[in-house]
Structure 1
């Protein structure tokens, strides 16, 4: 009886030691992952470092947690007298069967790995995937979560991501087109647009990276001469810049008496009496 009790106590102590050691190993792995990312990214900008930590660190920490947890379970089962070799062999057979039957899952995971390795997108980036534009909230090995302007969280399997437009890398361009009537002086309208764009750049030096460009006549429509303004702007700023310019152009054109044509409908009332 005494031997049996001491045997049980030894097993309990071993299991507690395995659980405690696994917990400490997970904490150490999480710390080591963050420190490694910080050291390897010490020459990058602080913004890039924060982006990398938000994107890669949670994934690697989760992976480390699952790996350590798996081996901890195997060690606990061995303490309970369960044949761990048989479990591993069975897991290998099941893994092969899943590999043959879940090719889509394997494709999702491989695509997710390459997305992270190539640093194509990161958490917090504004991207366009297909016809969906939104902010990346999470990148996993199997799925990527994006929240568009509507607020709904969209979950995309990584295997379906074939083309990405990332608005957070390098620069973007704000492109604004405005139509004027054929009767208006084109040179005068171009000069007004140039003044608007230059003044806006002076007022927002952090947003506008280069001198604005006026493309003069972009095209001739049926009822308007289309002028185009292009500004090279900081990442993800082009939407706000375009809205600001449209407001300033409308306001200035009204003050300068430059006509912006629009569709008009003429209704003739016929006296049926």
Structure 2
């Protein structure tokens, strides 16, 4: 067989199988490129997280809550950026692969495809602007570090722990376990309860005739005793303060006590302090007044979602309830009737 015959045979083979081979190569190349890019992003995120843990000498992300705050933010931001970058790479690779496959099937379609794209862009411009807004707003949310995976946030539409930040939506798990999908373009404000520090605010109602100075002194002493313990010392950033008499009503006097804490420990410190304040007032003989109603405001209860945080922690062991002994029923002997012997 001459060289000309070989060339003709190869040309005929390529004319028949060239397009399917090209399409298969595009698909395989797109899959491999996506795997490589995701592997690179994952390795970068892991190196950042491992580096932070090594510098803080901890083995678990949950332990970073007692470390400097910027370390926690670095870990959360790295994971969020990794999730967003993986989504962006996937979308770009799929779009480019589809365009290459369409061009291989019909090379003359590129010109018509440009016209179709222009027409669709003009016709769907108003419909697609919400998608574009979602994508751009999601990028700015991550770049500006407004929220991250593991943060406790209030977006107006939902309040809870951020579990995932995608290109178009953000997934938020609330305190009841409901997973909310919030469009990034609809997030007009973000209240992040995991950045910086938090403040425990306890408004304690005491009877109207209580001795204010003695109660305030005992409250401050109880809070200081709590802060000085080794268990609670890492969770507190500043010494407790009594801000004084907050309000006066016909039912009670309200005294405010505040403590500046780490964001992850605010609820734990508040619960422990309430118990100790109640015991301290009982020792003083101060009985808390019976208020007609209790109105919760702000984020009370919203940030109590530590169990949903995306961190590896040991499961909590719940002790079985203590059985309650029922009192024995005493039998009462009937009185003898009059005249009976």
Q: Say whether residues 1:170 and 2:196 are aligned partners.
A: yes
Q: 2:22 aligns with which of 2, 5, 14?
A: 14
- Stretch of structure 1 that moved more, 89-98 or 196-205: 89-98
Identify if the C-alpha distance between structure 1 residues 46 and 154 changes in structure 2 by more than 3 Å, giving closer, same or farther: same
Q: How does 1:73-152 map to 2 (within 5 A)?
A: 73-81=98-106, 83-85=108-110, 86-130=112-156, 132-152=158-178
Q: For this pair of structures, how many residues does the alignment match? A: 264
SS of the aligned residue for 1:124 comes to coil
Contact 2:83 2:165 in 1 (8 A): no
2:97 to 60, 72, 77: 72
Q: What RMSD, in angstroms, separates the aligned Cα atoms of the two structures?
A: 2.8
Which runs of 5 or more structure 2 residues have no equivalent in the other structure?
1-7, 53-68, 293-341
Change (3 A) 1:28 1:263: closer
Other-structure match for 2:254? 226
**Offset of 1:37 from its aligned partner?**
6.4
Whole-angstrom distance in 1 between the partners of 2:85 and 2:209: 64
What secondary structure does 1:149 align onto?
coil
Superposition map of 1:55-70 within 5 A: 55-70=80-95
Q: Normalised by the size of structure 2, how large is the TM-score?
A: 0.69
Bigger fraction of residues in strand: 1
CA contact (8 A) 2:83 2:166 kept: no
Structure-2 residue corresponding to 1:269: none
Q: Which runs of 5+ in 1 are unaligned?
A: 265-273
Instruction: Give the Cα–Cα distance (whole angstroms) in 2 for the partners of residues 99 and 36 of structure 1.
Output: 37
Per the TM alignment, residue 84 of structure 1 is displaced from its structure 2 partner at its CA by 4.4
Matched-pair contact (CA < 8 Å) for 2:73–2:195: no
Check whether the contact 1:209–1:234 (CA below 8 A) recurs between aligned residues.
yes
Structure 1 pair 89–123 and aligned structure 2 pair: CA distance change class (3 A): farther
Whether 2:232 is the aligned partner of 1:184: answer: no
For normalisation by structure 1, the TM-score amounts to 0.84
Q: Whose Rg is larger? A: 2
